[in-house]
Amino acid sequence: MNAPALDGLDELDRRIVVALQHDGRASWRTIADMVNSSTATVARRGQQLLASGVTKIAVVPALGSKGQVDSFLIRINCQPGTQLQVAAELVNHEGMRFVTVVTGRYDIIAELVVHGGATHYPQFIEELQSIAGIERWRSDLIMHVYKVTFDWGRQLFSDTADLPGVPGENLEVVEPASCRPEHFDSSDWKIVEALREDGRETFQAIADRLGMNESSVRRRFERLRNSRCIDILTVMPATALGMGAETLLTVRVAPRRMDAVARELAQHPAVRYLAATLDENSLFCEVILPSTTDLYSFITSTLSRLEGVKDWTASMELLFLKRGFVETPWWRSQVSALEPALP
């Protein structure tokens, strides 16, 4: 089976990926109905996308599932030529929710989730800041998350006639759920762990492996899903969908307008992630758009016109190594020439 290139997906491939972003565990028949194709074709194309590493589907527990957490936005400057080595070390840390190499005033931007609350953050400082190649480490507490969406590709198909079953307008603001440890028991954790590497593994296969009943596995999974205690992630490079402008923005806002600006920004379909940080009355925003022309339009027509926005700084994302606690399956192949030097 020939693996599709990251930039070689055709229209049907892209539609399948967007449908998987909407529901990574939807049946191939359901996805075929969404994209107006045959089940056999969609199953073959979808399985090829997964097998090639262009797309990865994983099920991960929602924040708070293991108790109190606080998150810190990390901005790092590295010694010249060490960015990839530093980023690779950060990926291996289980508390890193995302890691990306960027342009601009910083070399790496990441999010560190600290269990037990912010008071436990100093325990990580010595270990992480001692990684060879790090010159400067700046951290900022994430106070509130306004939006997290995993199906940002829907903006490519805004007309619901183009992609039946996947709403393209009036995108909801998805805020993290309040999940607690008591929502899980030992069997629930085993099911989630089984789905971390392969989010599309069948309930029957999981049941056979764990010595459980298939209906029990299904029922437990649906309970966790309905309680928003798990996230189903479809991870893929934006460039494979023709989205060439992944940008991280730090937006300074007048204090009295912080919440209002955040809620207006969150309604924009290109905004994948949006949070309020402690420093400088700032909003941290990830925007995914098809091109730099679209990015310019977003900045001049949307961001700059919001009352209360003072200014902003931006970094283009060059290489995403981790998202939603899941290592992206393609980043090592993209830098394969350097792989022998990477940890």
Residue 134 and residue 246: Cα distance in Å, rounded? 24
pLDDT for residue 168: 41
Specify the pTM. 0.88
pLDDT at 2: 41
E strand or H helix that includes residue 167: none
Nearest to 6 by CA among 339, 331, 338, 266: 331
* Blockwise average pLDDT, block size 10, the chain, 343 residues: 56 92 94 94 96 92 89 96 94 94 96 88 87 95 91 68 46 56 93 95 96 97 93 89 92 96 94 93 94 95 96 94 92 66 55
**Residues contacting 202, CB < 8 A, separation 6+:** none
Q: What separation in angstroms does the CA of 39 have from each of 4, 24, 29, 35, 206? A: 19, 16, 5, 10, 24
Helices and strands in the chain, H and E counts:
11, 11
pLDDT of the residue at 173: 45
Q: What are phi and psi of 14, to 5 degrees?
A: -65, -40
Q: What's the pLDDT at 261?
A: 97
Copy the structure tokens of residue 66.
């293991």
* Residue found by looking up tokens 């991870």 in the block: 235
Is 191 in contact with 209 (CB distance < 8 Å)?
A: no
Residues written for the chain: 343
* Tokens 């022998």 belong to residue: 340
